[in-house]
Copies of this chain bind each other. A is one copy, B any other.
Amino acid sequence: MKTKIGPKDRIVPLPIVLVVCGTLKRPNIITVGKVGVVASDPPVIGISIRKTRYSLELIRANGEFSLNTPSSGQCTQTDYCGIVSGRDCDKITAIGMTPLQGSCISAPILEECPYNLECRVLREIDLGDWVLFLAEVLETLVDEDKLLDPVTGRVDVEKIDPIVYLGSTDEYRRLGEVVGRGFQEGRRLVRE
């Protein structure tokens, strides 16, 4: 039996990222849980920012931002950047992270985050209190010690150790055990 609990803005689980906008000299950082991949070839991601946030103006100003994946050990910093406003303080300094010049955008990336996407806004969609930015991923950067797996050629997610966000319970979690392999697991159900 199903029970109605009203319309919720919750998908479980969600990623959570640190979006850096502005410039290397005047960067700002904001925590974003309203984030997802929307297309491939070229890769396009979406982030939604509340209209009251300072970062909205900065993203509009130069049309670029970086999307930085924090590790599970960085959840205090991640949470903090969602609580306070860059209008009132220098959040990057407060959390002890280092803005680095990106490879192809004016907004910096975060040195301490192991996985960084450099993004350029393609379009902006008005959703009432929120603005959805659709942005092309121009480059991906990873830490040298988190280089691609030499066998699979893929990023080692174990070393990224990303945060899994659960809005329903306001929890930050780590990744749990592997329960299946994509594009393999389902083959056993395919009738020959």
Cross-chain contact of A144 among B1, B95, B138, B170 (Cβ < 8 A): B1
Tell me the residues in window 115-134 of chain A with beta carbons closer than 8 Å to chain B beta carbons: 115-117, 123, 125, 127-130, 132, 134
Most B C-beta atoms less than 10 A away, residue of A38, A95, A111, A163 = A38
Contact assessment for B174 and A176 in the assembled complex, using a CB-CB cutoff below 8 Å? yes
Given A2-B100, A4-B141, A171-B182 in contact, is the A160-B77 Cβ separation under 8 Å? no
Please name all residues of chain B whose beta carbon is closer than 8 Å to the beta carbon of A95 when the two chains form the complex.
189
Interface string of A1-26 (1 = CB under 8 A from B): 11111111111111101000000000
CA distance A15 to B35 in the complex (A): 11
CA distance A3 to B103 in the complex (A): 10
Contact assessment for B78 and A186 in the assembled complex, using a CB-CB cutoff below 8 Å? yes
Contact assessment for A130 and B13 in the assembled complex, using a CB-CB cutoff below 8 Å? no
